[in-house]
Amino acid sequence: MGIFVVKGLFFFLSILFVILSDQWVKLEILSHFDYGESVRVFQNFFSITYVRNTGAAFGFLATANPSFRVPFFLVVPIIAMVVLGFLYRDLPQDARVRSMALGLVSGGALGNLIDRVRLGYVVDFLDFHYKNEYYFPAFNVADSAICVGVAILLLSTMTKREIDHASYPV
């Protein structure tokens, strides 16, 4: 298999995996939970809670005027996809890890964009908290993929050693 094919596979399979898993889990939440319903998984730590997020990551801009917020959150992901496409294009042919990382970010952005177009909001459900006093904003699979992808990209940028060429034990 050619190097370009491998680079492309890492990128496009990452996108496909994130979109399919994100949308499947969100469909399960929409099918089995009422809005605001919560099921405790680990007491004082983690629940599955159906939340509608009209803002960005972690509810940022959720209270902004809809005449600004709605177009903003439809246009920004499209611009992000164009930027990610250029970053992918400029990757070396053997940059498997960074290709996968860009795929994670792209898949996450597309997963949340699908929600915004289809529902007018993003379905969030992963609810971490400490003793019902300290809450981390609810998030979803797409948000997780974006964060992991960005972390991999930052790590690969900050390290002197190229992680795409690292030898992995079999």
DSSP 2-28: -HHHHHHHHHHHHHHHHHHHHHHHHHH
The arithmetic mean of pLDDT across residues 33-56, rounded, is: 92
C-beta of residue 53 within 8 angstroms of C-beta of residue 142: no
Residue 23 identity (one-letter amino acid): Q
Q: Quick check: is 49 in a domain?
A: yes
Q: Quick check: is 163 in a domain?
A: no
Residue 165 identity (one-letter amino acid): H
pLDDT value of position 165: 54
pLDDT value of position 170: 44
Q: State the catalytic residue, choosing from 22, 115, 124, 127.
A: 124
Q: Quick check: is 20 in a domain?
A: yes
The arithmetic mean of pLDDT across residues 107-135, rounded, is: 92
Q: Quick check: is 167 in a domain?
A: no
pLDDT value of position 166: 53
Look up tokens 């908290």; give the residue.
Answer: 129
Residue 99, SS3 per DSSP: helix
Phi, psi (degrees; rounded to nearest 5) at 124: -115, 155
Q: What is the spatial distance between Cα 152 and Cα 98, in angstroms, rounded to a whole number?
A: 7
Listing from the earlier edge strand, what are the strands of the sheet with 122-130? 38-42, 46-53, 122-130, 134-135
C-beta of residue 47 within 8 angstroms of C-beta of residue 41: yes
Number of domains in the chain: 1
C-beta of residue 9 within 8 angstroms of C-beta of residue 98: no
Q: Quick check: is 150 in a domain?
A: yes
Residue 131, SS3 per DSSP: coil
Q: State the catalytic residue, choosing from 22, 115, 127, 143.
A: 143
Which of 24-28, 63-67, 127-131 has the least mean pLDDT? 63-67
Average pLDDT over the chain reads: 87
Q: What is the spatial distance between Cα 22 and Cα 20, in angstroms, rounded to a whole number?
A: 6
Q: Is residue 124 among the annotated active site residues?
A: yes
Q: Quick check: is 166 in a domain?
A: no
Q: Is residue 143 among the annotated active site residues?
A: yes
Which of 14-18, 84-88, 98-102, 114-118 has the least mean pLDDT? 84-88
- Where in the sequence is the domain holding 145, given as residue range(s)? 3-158
pLDDT value of position 65: 79
Q: What is the spatial distance between Cα 107 and Cα 142, in angstroms, rounded to a whole number?
A: 7
Q: Quick check: is 165 in a domain?
A: no
Q: Quick check: is 13 in a domain?
A: yes
Report the predicted TM-score, pTM, of the whole model to 2 decimal places.
Answer: 0.85
